[in-house]
Chains A and B, each alone.
Chain A
Amino acid sequence: MAAALRLEGVSKRYGDFEAVRDLSFEASPGRILGFLGPNGAGKTSTVRMILGLSRPTDGAITVLGVGDARKVRDRIGFLPEERGLYRRMTPVDAIAFFSQLKGMPRAKARRRAEAMLEAQGLGEAMRRPIKALSKGMAQKVQLLAALAHEPELVILDEPFAGLDPVNQMSLEAILKSLAAHGATVVFSTHVMEQAERLCDQVVLIARGRKVFDGGLFEARSAAPRTLLLEGAVTAADALALPGVAAVEAQAPGEDGGLRLTAVLAPGASGQEALRAAFARDLDLTRFELREPSLYDAFIVLTGGARPEAAR
């Protein structure tokens, strides 16, 4: 199946500053791609180039089969990181307006807007000015405005920011539904749990360069597995266990002992370390093998920038 989105060796320079360097990746129809990276990594510059809002300095971008996204803008849905709507407009007018801009006839756009607002529990607010809505409600309206014309490629910049957990769940369901219906969803987020729950593919960039492109399992593999040890144990005890490459953190434990996080060497077995701990009669109250999360992988791959801190 042809990729809905393809970037080949894309770079973007602003004077002497290179915001994006030699970036290549693909997104296939019906899949959800997480576009992750710390602040200043080049995500917004990349999104603007994908949308045809700015020109790449080098490289080529193919969107829905064409070399210029502006030719297929009716088939793209876009939600920018910084939200904005006409404050005096009503939700139904706003969604209908943006759908009309995407080529939907006025009457159909209004019907679709009303139906979407009802479905998302905003039926009562649909004719109130947006300035009278809560931030979460307004954000939902803007998301609906980006999706109302049933786009084939959806690009969402931090779509979960500012939403409460219930609305986040609701948005996750919408994105899964879009992908299930064949749309390609590209979204950026700093909430790694959401990316883990939603993404089929992850593209990680840092300082303008791609540092990872692949599935979630592969991404997690980039970070080492760790052992959580708690009890009357020292860092030297932990380092002496087979497969332990380093002790990353230590803190006072709940029972007066220490809590250590030991990093396992690639390919090392947690079972072997456990057996050795028993054999050496270590006084452990807790022994836990932890698989790396996307968060851990993010930190390793981006060179230590934590997602929250990066914001």
Chain B
Amino acid sequence: MSRLLTIAVREYLAYVRTVGFWLSLCLMPLVLALSSQAPALLEKSSPKPVLTIVDLATPDDCPAEVQTCLYDPVLSLRRTVEDRLKASTAYVVVAPPAPLRAARTPEAVGAEAKRLLGGARPPGDGRIDAAGVVYRNNGRIAVDVWSRDVADRDLTRDVQDAVSEWMRRVNLQAQGLDPMLATKVMAERPEMHAFSPKAAGGGAVTDRDRLPGLIGFGLGLLLWSAVMTGAGILLNSVIEEKSSRILEILLASASTTEIMGGKILGVAGVTFTVLAAWAAMGTAVLGHFAPALLGDVAAVLLSHGLLAYFAAYLVAGYLMYAALFAAVGAYCETTRDAQTLLGPVMLILAVPIIFMGQAISRPDAPLLQALSWVPPFTPFLMAARAASHPPAWQIALTLIEMVAATALVLWIAGRAFRAGALSSGRPSLRALIGSVGRGDETRAPD
């Protein structure tokens, strides 16, 4: 035990004493805070796109009863669409420039728009970044959207929504409804009340009831990152010891269990230090800027034993992956060697990431429940499902399954670690599997 602790302390201090560790510790929350604000900052710093709507759908020679449409605040296409787009505040909506106004067919407008948008953006008035051309195609309303930005899908959707609203108004008016009334009817929304027996008050669902889902998702992600970071540190540490031949001396001084256990414990200490520091920083920031939210988060974490629930899956998940990564590291002298062996493991680790987001809205989806029983996914998906308070039997059985799977992985990894530490030459999956069977090196030393 003392050897295990000696190795753990060395491993811990080896990372904690580096400048890089403290830089990562302090910079990561800053980067996270910046990235959460990035969309807003991006929008704030970017000029709003200048958009114009060209109406070719309202014929110049439309019947008298329709003529009013051009001036009607409710039925005018351009006015409806422009008002709707202005309301979104995402665009500056301007009247069509003269060349667009002069064109009378979609093709002609398109050619002018292409010319206007293709060159450098002209400064001052008269410049546009996008143009929506509304016209009739075989009796149906069609819209062509021209934009400088090929990737701007929001613009296309927003123009479509605005034109759709105009089409609804016109259709309702054609059915004899008062356009003003139609607008009012379309704006009507019921007063919604959500209830659930799982809500904190036993009835009405509040934002606080949705908090566990978000926290569960956050904890699942945190667990995934902690496992990946910790196992990654461990992998590099073992590779360093293998390549510098320290592993052979360690094996002559301590048992495989003590070496692996010490290293896993030491890196777990590093991971815990990082998580504790981030938790402290997060608490301080929330306490200062949103004390009420902090109270809610704390209440959620402390209710239903969620903290212990998360801790149990964190420990099991970390142990399982750390042992696996350590065993692989023992076979590799470079990170490139490790990448070839870890390819399948990384693919497995990607699966929970795909499904964790689903757990926010549908934590009890049958597929999520089924995947929760697969040991490599269990810690992450069970953490993400925490919000729905899975049945106690599921928690107990998945934890028992995790303990059994982790014990098996530790046993296999121990044999592989021992053989890998003494192996030489290029690592291969075959050698790794063979050495697990024998529990000894498979090749003579060089």
CA distance A97 to B11 in the complex (A): 11
When distances are taken between beta carbons in the complex, the residues of chain B under 8 Å from A55 are 440
When distances are taken between beta carbons in the complex, the residues of chain A under 8 Å from B443 are 14
Residue from A14, A87, A98 in contact with B441 in the complex, judged by beta carbons closer than 8 Å: A14
Among B212-248, those with CB < 8 Å from A are 241, 244-246, 248
Residue from B6, B14, B18, B245 in contact with A80 in the complex, judged by beta carbons closer than 8 Å: B245
- Flag if A44 contacts B445 (CB, 8 Å): yes
When distances are taken between beta carbons in the complex, the residues of chain A under 8 Å from B249 are 78, 80, 84, 98, 145-146
Q: Does B339 contact A (CB under 8 A)?
A: no
- Flag if B445 contacts A45 (CB, 8 Å): yes
- Flag if A48 contacts B445 (CB, 8 Å): yes
CA distance A84 to B247 in the complex (A): 9
- Flag if B444 contacts A45 (CB, 8 Å): yes
Q: Does B204 contact A (CB under 8 A)?
A: no
When distances are taken between beta carbons in the complex, the residues of chain A under 8 Å from B444 are 12, 14, 17, 19, 45
When distances are taken between beta carbons in the complex, the residues of chain B under 8 Å from A14 are 441-444
Segment at the interface with A among B251-259, B293-301, B314-322, B408-416 = B251-259
A100: min CB distance to chain B, Å:
5
Given contacts A70-B255, A87-B244, A98-B249, contact A54 B7 (CB under 8 A): no
Among B112-145, those with CB < 8 Å from A are none
CA distance A70 to B252 in the complex (A): 8
A52: min CB distance to chain B, Å:
8
Among A148-204, those with CB < 8 Å from B are none
A109: min CB distance to chain B, Å:
10
User: How many contacts between A and B, using CB within 8 angstroms?
Assistant: 73
Q: Which of A80, A100, A101 is the most central at the interface, judged by chain B CB atoms within 10 Å of its CB?
A: A101
Q: Does B3 contact A (CB under 8 A)?
A: yes
Q: Does B304 contact A (CB under 8 A)?
A: no
Q: Does A259 contact B (CB under 8 A)?
A: no
Name A109's closest neighbour in chain B (CB-CB). Answer: B6
Interface residue tally on B, bucketed by range:
20 to 34
Encoded as 1 (CB less than 8 Å from any B CB) or 0, chain A from 32 to 50 comes to 0000000000001100100
CA distance A98 to B3 in the complex (A): 10
Among B1-33, those with CB < 8 Å from A are 2-3, 6-7, 10, 14, 17-18
Q: Does A15 contact B (CB under 8 A)?
A: yes
- Flag if B244 contacts A97 (CB, 8 Å): no
Q: Does B422 contact A (CB under 8 A)?
A: yes
Q: Does B250 contact A (CB under 8 A)?
A: yes
- Flag if A101 contacts B254 (CB, 8 Å): yes
When distances are taken between beta carbons in the complex, the residues of chain A under 8 Å from B422 are 48, 53-54
When distances are taken between beta carbons in the complex, the residues of chain B under 8 Å from A102 are 253
- Flag if B245 contacts A100 (CB, 8 Å): no
B423: min CB distance to chain A, Å:
11
Given contacts A44-B445, A45-B444, A97-B10, contact A53 B250 (CB under 8 A): no
Q: Does A246 contact B (CB under 8 A)?
A: no
Name B262's closest neighbour in chain A (CB-CB). Answer: A101
When distances are taken between beta carbons in the complex, the residues of chain B under 8 Å from A78 are 249, 252-253
- Flag if B246 contacts A51 (CB, 8 Å): no
- Flag if A97 contacts B245 (CB, 8 Å): no
Q: Does A245 contact B (CB under 8 A)?
A: no
- Flag if B251 contacts A98 (CB, 8 Å): no
Residue from A53, A82, A84, A85 in contact with B252 in the complex, judged by beta carbons closer than 8 Å: A53
When distances are taken between beta carbons in the complex, the residues of chain B under 8 Å from A76 are 252
Name B258's closest neighbour in chain A (CB-CB). Answer: A101
CA distance A101 to B6 in the complex (A): 7
Residue from A83, A87, A89 in contact with B245 in the complex, judged by beta carbons closer than 8 Å: A83
When distances are taken between beta carbons in the complex, the residues of chain B under 8 Å from A98 are 249, 253
CA distance A143 to B422 in the complex (A): 20
- Flag if B440 contacts A97 (CB, 8 Å): no
When distances are taken between beta carbons in the complex, the residues of chain B under 8 Å from A73 are 252-254
Encoded as 1 (CB less than 8 Å from any B CB) or 0, chain A from 120 to 140 comes to 000000000000000000000
Q: Which of A15, A80, A83, A85 is the most central at the interface, judged by chain B CB atoms within 10 Å of its CB?
A: A80
Q: Does A86 contact B (CB under 8 A)?
A: yes
When distances are taken between beta carbons in the complex, the residues of chain A under 8 Å from B445 are 44-45, 48
Residue from B6, B246, B251, B255 in contact with A86 in the complex, judged by beta carbons closer than 8 Å: B246
When distances are taken between beta carbons in the complex, the residues of chain B under 8 Å from A145 are 249
CA distance A44 to B245 in the complex (A): 13
When distances are taken between beta carbons in the complex, the residues of chain B under 8 Å from A15 are 442
Q: Does A275 contact B (CB under 8 A)?
A: no
Q: Does A108 contact B (CB under 8 A)?
A: no
Residue from B17, B246, B442 in contact with A85 in the complex, judged by beta carbons closer than 8 Å: B246
CA distance A69 to B426 in the complex (A): 29
Chain B contact residues, CB within 8 Å of chain A: 2-3, 6-7, 10, 14, 17-18, 241, 244-246, 248-255, 422, 440-446
16 sampled A-B residue pairs with Cβ under 8 A: A14-B443, A17-B444, A19-B444, A45-B444, A48-B445, A53-B252, A54-B422, A73-B252, A78-B249, A86-B10, A88-B17, A88-B18, A100-B6, A101-B254, A102-B253, A145-B249
Q: Which 4 residue pairs of A and B lie closest in terms of their CB atoms, listed nearest first?
A: A84-B244, A84-B245, A101-B253, A44-B445
Given A45-B444, A97-B10, A101-B7, 14 further pairs, Cβ under 8 A: A14-B441, A14-B444, A44-B446, A48-B422, A53-B251, A54-B440, A73-B254, A76-B252, A78-B253, A82-B245, A83-B245, A86-B14, A87-B244, A88-B17
